[in-house]
Structure 1
Amino acid sequence: MNSFIEEEFKKQYQQGKLAFERGQYRLSVECLESACKLIPQRTPQGGEVQLWLVNAYQAKGDTGRALELCQYLCSHPHGETKSQAVRLLYILQAPELQRPSSWMTPIPDLTDSSNKYIVNQSVSSPRKIKPKPQIELVDLSQVNTKDNSFLWLGLLVSLGAIFFFIP
């Protein structure tokens, strides 16, 4: 295979897988279809790309094309591709399950201009902010400084302990 074609194949294949993983199924189908055209379909790589394409078709909602391609892949010469195609075909052909309405939660359409979905609309006044209490300043001339003997006693004990324990 030509190196340019191989590079283009890898680019389209990676873009297709990435678009699929991001939920961009239309883009994924386009990229994977381009990648399928660049590589022989009966090779292991070709089968892998086509399996991704089956998943992309199914995710896009094109179940008919997904089934058709998956049935074609059931006769693929590569064993792994063939077995995956058989498993995938079994899933695609399974009947769609019906969900009881009790399992579903209805989500109201909020684009409706009526206010019928508003349960409780209360209007409250803005909260009143309490002013911070003022700090009272103390007049230092009125502080009694004569009863500071306890302070001096604590200072002497601390210095004595320092000189006693640290030689």
Structure 2
Amino acid sequence: MFTRQTLLLWWGLTVTVAYLLTQYFGRTMEHGHGAVLWTWIIAMLIPVVMTLLLDKRNALAWVWAGATVLATAENYWAHAAEAKAIMPFSFHTLWFLFGALGFAYTASAVEGSRRKQLYGLAAALNLIGTVALTFNHELLEGYQYIILAVIQGVPMLLDVPMRRQQHEAETTRN
């Protein structure tokens, strides 16, 4: 049907575009939470459904799909319940924490030192964002979702050619 390479590309594209749209909606709409939530639900349906349909599933794909569904559901709940006390965490800090944990796990699961370094760096940058926003949720206001697009979406896009090179090297050796 399609490869893990294609799935990785779609994860990278949808995450990057969804964060950039989130930034845009946050700047142009007075009450854009609903538009942001629907953007993420629709955008994340693509790689989550692709994960379910993937011929050769692995734990890494399942972890990302499951965590994405849970984090998006938490955001939807916080918005629907109008839980203003946790909204700074839900709509800001959670996404850096999500990236820190997800990329740390990815760094431990992928093969190849360059790929491990890429995801380790992404995890570290997300952890820095988590800590910074824990102490001041307005610190990155105005740039937060651009930063998230760069430190979450771009690493997956950079990994597409790295993964292809690794696969070609393994095929050549065998």
Same fold (TM over 0.5): no
Bigger radius of gyration: 1
Query: Which is helix-richer, 1 or 2?
Result: 2
What's the TM-score, normalizing by structure 2?
0.34
What's the TM-score, normalizing by structure 1?
0.35
